[in-house]
């Protein structure tokens, strides 16, 4: 479908493309400046029964893409809304990870310190074992008793 633009510039995006904009001006095909064929205007989202305003001034859609889509462009808009929701969820996850990063680094440092202390405390056991291996009669044999 060719790119469509309103006749009057500076109009806010109302959520839908239509052959008539919010002020009743017809949409024109940008390629040849002719009005769209058909003469029927696509319904605007704010006029649809599946569109709702919330108390904070935002909006929501109760569209079901498998049953309640009225216009072909509704499916495209529904997909854009879902992509936007996925992006917002991803950004929220990244923000959460950014807040956890300092705590995670601190936990890693504490765990490394604890593991180093544990290894250091067990060094006396390993030092005695190494001395016994050096003095043992089987230094030149493999584990089955054969000379190496």
Q: Which pLDDT value is given to residue 46?
A: 81
Q: Please determine, for residue 26, whether its predicted confidence score (pLDDT) is greater than 80.
A: no
* pLDDT 10s digits, 111-139: 999 999 998 888 877 766 565 555 555 55
CA–CA separation, 10 and 31 (whole Å): 19
* pLDDT 10s digits, 45-85: 888 888 888 888 887 778 888 888 888 888 888 888 889 99
Contact 79, 87 (CB under 8 A): no
15 token code pair? 């959520």
């Amino acid at each position: 479908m060719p790119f469509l633009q309103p006749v009057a510039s500076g109009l806010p995006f109302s959520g839908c493309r239509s052959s008539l904009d919010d002020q009743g001006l017809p949409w024109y095909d940008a390629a040849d400046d002719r009005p769209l064929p058909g003469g029927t205007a696509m319904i605007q989202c704010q006029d649809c029964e599946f569109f709702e305003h919330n108390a904070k001034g935002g909006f929501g859609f109760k569209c079901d893409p498998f049953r309640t889509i009225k216009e072909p462009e509704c499916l495209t808009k529904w997909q854009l809304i879902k992509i936007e929701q996925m992006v917002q969820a991803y950004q929220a996850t990244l923000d959460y990870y950014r807040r956890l990063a300092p705590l995670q680094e601190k936990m890693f440092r504490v765990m490394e310190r604890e593991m180093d202390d544990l290894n250091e405390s067990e060094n006396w056991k390993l030092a005695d074992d190494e001395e016994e291996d050096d003095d043992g009669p089987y230094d030149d044999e493999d584990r089955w008793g054969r000379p190496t």
